[in-house]
Amino acid sequence: MFKVIQNGANRLDLEMSGKLKDKEIKIAIDELVRKSENIENGKMLYDVIDFRLPSPSALAIQFSVLPSVFAILKKFDRTAILTNKTWLKKLSELEGLLYPGLKIKAFNRDQRPEAEAWLNSEKKNPR
């Protein structure tokens, strides 16, 4: 399952649970593109409820839509990741180093209030 929830003018909340299949990945990315269309200096809260590696065909779709994903990421200044997987936290924060102008910080799933506070306390990043 992958949900994209509009949470105000410049924020999206994402929820992911389970193993994503190729059709789900395509629908999710299309929805993410559509809902982020008018966002500038956005914030994202990404709740990884239960992570499982996507199917091979879903991975192929992810690679095919990378240009769309890169365009989406430019619309966001910061992303808070909620996950209980230590390796996913480290990977997420490392990923943040690869995207200039995007801060990514990982939190345990029970730290949602702290993640919300971090999202709301940061100033805009200069681009």
- Say if 19 falls within a structural domain: yes
What is the number of structural domains in the chain?
1
Nearest to 61 by CA among 14, 29, 89, 97: 29
Side by side, the strands of the sheet bearing 76-82 are 2-6, 11-19, 42-52, 76-82, 103-107
Q: What is the largest CA-CA distance in the chain?
A: 39
At 69, the amino acid letter reads V
pLDDT digits (tens, 9 = 90+) for 77-105: 999 999 998 888 888 888 878 788 889 99
Which stretch of DSSP H or E encloses residue 97? helix 86-98
pLDDT digits (tens, 9 = 90+) for 9-38: 899 999 988 766 667 777 888 888 899 999
Helical pair 56-64 and 22-35, crossing angle rounded to 10 deg:
30
What length does the chain have? Answer: 127
- Say if 126 falls within a structural domain: no
CATH of the domain at 23: 3.30.750.24
Question: What are 39's two structure tokens?
Answer: 């966002």
CA atoms of 11 and 27, how far apart (whole Å): 19
Range of the domain at 75: 2-121
- Say if 116 falls within a structural domain: yes
- Say if 127 falls within a structural domain: no
- pLDDT surpassing 60 at residue 59: no
